[in-house]
Amino acid sequence: MDLTTTYPSWLILLCIVAGILISLLLYYKNKRFELSFPTNITLGVIRAIIISFIAFLLLNPLIESQKRFTEKPVILFLQDNSSSVKTSKDSTYYLTDYVQQIKRFSNDLEKKYDVASFVFDDQLHDDLNIDFKGAITDFSSVLKDVKNRFAYRNIGAMIIASDGIYNRGSNPVYDIDKFNFPIYTIALGDTNIQRDIILKKVNFNRIAYLGNEFPMEITIQAGKCKDQQTRLTVVNDGNDLFSKTIHINSNNFLQTEKLLLEANTKGLQRYTIELTPVNDEISKANNKQDVFIDILEGKQKILILSGVPHPDVSAIKQAILSNKNYEVQDFMIDKFDQSVEAYNLVILHGLPSLKSNITGLLNQIREKQIPVLYFLTKNTYYRLFNDQLAGVSVRGENLIFNEVMPSVNEKFSLFTIGDQTREMLKSTPPVVSPYGSINIQASATPLLFQTIGSIETEEPLLVLSESTNQKTGVVLAEGLWRWRLKSWAQKGTHEPFDQLINKIVQFLSLKVDKRFFKVIHDNNFNENQDIEMDAQVYNEIYELINEPEVKIIFTDEMGNDFPFVFNKTINAYHLNTGRLPAGNYKYKATVQLGDKLLTENGEFTVNPLNIELINTIADHNLLFNMAHNRGGEMFYPNQLDELEKTIIDSNKIKTISYRESRFSELLNIPWLLGLVILLLSIEWLVRKRMGAY
């Protein structure tokens, strides 16, 4: 213990002097009462001590105390729990004898060290429950977690038991540089190439359209299967869509099959790709894979109507047809005699006009809430156009028309524009735009502004509007055909212009969802992902609310039900069910809104992960490098005793000791306060006894 103070030490002498002086004033030649000389001296000394000590306490003295601690070294044991370990020919050993050996090994180390044992796959798990069921191996995530958990501990060594196979994250050899303790590895698995046929990879589009063909690429790998054959099949709803015999002509075989399949059934479809096994194959689990494709019903139908022939119409039509998901029909307005209900989007070029009375058509479009895209030209009848409340109005007597250039509104957020399109818009030829009093409605957002000469203005050139009833778009220009030609002249492709038109068409043609109850989720989840969903409930004036309770029931393929209740967020709902087994699930969600019971039905799929079965050849070279780079060694499961001896004999694994200093105020020590009170009480009692006061 040390006594210290924040004030100069000479002040302590001043405290003593002050105590002596005050004592002398009280006891020296005090004639009011008679005390014997020894008593007078004793009481004077007591008073001097008390005054000096109280004065010393005013200096806020601190007592420094030190305590010594010792910390045993911590041995970290990390066991790879991924399924690739048990795919070797010694799978029975790893599931039985190996597990017992590891637990005995861990128990033996605990007699001398603090042992922290974990299993890992794509993350660290706080136990030693070894079942080799992990679907993904991610050393980077695991080592980062170790660093965060044990940053200030006395880590003696880390032992990693693994087959060295990882399929997510970076190379662990580079991640271990942050550790300053030795790493030992236990090499599991088999480095020999086994007889195995593997469905290595399936490339596919997640969306296709009913009646169309869609591509699929299947990569097949085989090891030690020369002169064998397997049959590749693709099955949907019990029907064989494709079948082919694959002849394996080498022991290191790799082949890609490119297929074109027809989408015959709408909805979320499961396609099962499978390879028949060969004799003595080490694993059949990697011969099969399910993929899920959402088959949408038909193409979007687009109608183009114009008052007079114009090259813009052809440019717009060709741009839309570049996307195979759209079907386009164009008519002169006087030749059109069909119903607009069959179309997902109506494009009006130069309409309404004075020569063509289309009031009835406009009323029908508004009543059916069909999205519409206007192209304003010199022929447009602006008074009737303004009555449509399309998001922008153009007013003025005897409108004039200017040549303008486009500039992109950087605050536009309804969708994104590609870099090629942005580059095209910077160097396009001018278009002709009406000049007048242009007003934008609150529901509208400009995508393009007008640039007149070299001056960028905030006058709109292209406006999109999304209200609760109808989507509309307005292009205040004619002459866009020049943009398409310029795109070809600059890049040798129409893609920059076509992309702009298709983005606009895609935004407008998607229907506004006006349901009062919506459940929002992905169609596909992996089996190592949590199933998360959002729900929205709207009242009669279409405001988000979250007062009522939202319930949902999942039903698996066996008919088992799993009920859940959504959690409420600020103004909506969220559900996280955790992980579910692989398979197809249907659901029914319900909410009681007033006297109405609203329901939502849907389905989703949990995809099995076979990534651990694609590569089954252990990488012991990786484990050797990890150990060697950190001053450790690599061992095999039958060398656990040697590993234990190496750790015990290591001079790098030591108990550390350290001191901890603590400062406390002398004023806070209770017995010192008691001593002062005791001395004061003795002095007071003696003086009272002798007749003093």
Q: How many CA atoms lie within 13 A of 226 on its CB side?
A: 5
H/E segment holding residue 444: strand 444-452
CA separation for the pair 21, 28 (Å, rounded):
10
What is the CB neighbour count within 10 angstroms for residue 267? 12
Q: Which two tokens stand for residue 519?
A: 């459940």
Radius of gyration of the chain (CA): 41
- Is a pLDDT exceeding 90 seen at residue 667? no
Q: Between 41 and 262, where is the model more confident?
A: 262
Q: Rounded mean pLDDT of 227-237?
A: 92
- Residue 691: pLDDT over 70: no
Judge whether residue 29 has pLDDT over 70: no
CATH fold of the domain at 517-607:
Immunoglobulin-like (2.60.40)
Residue 16: pLDDT band by 50, 70, 90 thresholds?
confident
Task: Provide, rounded to the nearest whole percent, the portion of the chain with pLDDT above 90.
Answer: 42
% pLDDT > 70, the chain: 97
Q: Rounded to an integer, what distance in angstroms lies between the CA atom of residue 135 and that of residue 122? A: 8
Q: Do the Cβ atoms of 393 and 386 come closer than 8 Å?
A: yes
Run of H or E residues at 451: strand 444-452
Sign of CA dihedral 141, 144, 149, 155: positive
Terminal C-alpha separation, the chain: 40
Residue 292 host element (H or E): strand 288-296
pLDDT tier for residue 632 given thresholds of 50, 70 and 90:
very high
Q: Residue 142 pLDDT > 80, yes or no?
A: yes
What is the rounded CA–CA span in Å between residue 186 and residue 333? Answer: 79
Instruction: Give the range with max mean pLDDT: 19-33, 148-162, 610-624.
Output: 148-162
Interatomic CA distance for residues 32 and 75, integer angstroms: 79
Residue 31 in this model has a pLDDT that exceeds 60: no
638 contacts: CB under 8 Å, gap ≥ 6: none
Q: What is the pLDDT of residue 467?
A: 72
The DSSP code for 548 is S
**For the chain, how many residues are written?**
693
**Six-digit token pair at 50?**
């008390």
Of 414-418, 471-475, 479-483, 612-616, least confident by mean pLDDT is 612-616
Q: Boundaries of CATH 2.60.40.1220 in the chain?
A: 517-607
User: In the CATH scheme, what is the code of domain 300-509?
Assistant: 3.40.50.880
Q: What does the pLDDT look like over 34-60, one tens digit per residue?
A: 667 777 778 788 888 888 888 888 888
Residue type, 663: F
Q: Which residues of 436-447 are buried (b: 16+ CB within 10 A; e: fewer)?
A: bebebeebbbbb
Task: Identify the DSSP state of 278.
Answer: -
CATH topology classification for 196-290: Immunoglobulin-like (2.60.40)
* pLDDT greater than 80 at residue 369: yes
Look up the pTM and report it: 0.53
Whether 693 has a pLDDT exceeding 60, the answer reads no
Amino acid at 73: P
Q: Does the pLDDT at position 553 exceed 70?
A: yes
Count Cα neighbours of 613 within 13 Å in the Cβ-side half-sphere.
19
Query: What is the arithmetic mean of pLDDT over 88-93?
Result: 79
Average pLDDT, the chain: 87
Class of domain 73-81+94-129+138-190+620-649: alpha beta
How far is 616 from 85, CA to CA, in rounded Å?
8
Please state, in angstroms and rounded to a whole number, the distance separating the CA atoms of residues 505 and 496: 15
**CA-CA distance, 576 to 213, in Å (whole number)?**
36
Q: How confident is the model at residue 461 (pLDDT cuts 50, 70, 90)?
A: very high
- From the list 197, 126, 117, the residue with the least C-alpha distance to 158 is 117
Where do you find CATH 3.40.50.410 in the chain? 73-81+94-129+138-190+620-649
Cα–Cα distances in angstroms (integers) from residue 128 to residues 77, 79, 104, 132, 381, in the given order: 9, 8, 12, 11, 78
Mean pLDDT of 140-149: 91
What does the pLDDT read at residue 30?
57
Domain with CATH 2.60.40.10 in the chain: 196-290
Q: What are the Cα distances from residue 519, in Å, to 188, 553, 572, 601, 649?
A: 46, 12, 11, 9, 62
Looking at the chain, the domain(s) classified CATH 3.40.50.880 span 300-509
| Strand positions, DSSP E, 513-613 | 517-520, 524-526, 532-538, 544-545, 550-555, 561-565, 567-568, 573-576, 583-593, 596-607
**Model confidence at 193: pLDDT above 90:** no
pLDDT score recorded for residue 412: 85
Average of per-residue pLDDT across 600-620 = 80
Mean pLDDT for 602-619 is: 78
234 pLDDT band, cuts 50/70/90, is very high
What's the whole-number mean pLDDT along residues 582-594? 91
What is the arithmetic mean of pLDDT over 83-110? 87
Q: How large is the average pLDDT for residues 153-164?
A: 92
User: Dmax over Cα atoms in the chain, in whole Å?
Assistant: 136
Question: Please, where are the H alpha helices in 481-636?
Answer: 481-491, 495-509, 620-629
- In angstroms, the CA 338 to CA 332 distance is 12
Which range, of 58-62, 101-105, 442-446, 641-645, averages the lowest pLDDT? 58-62
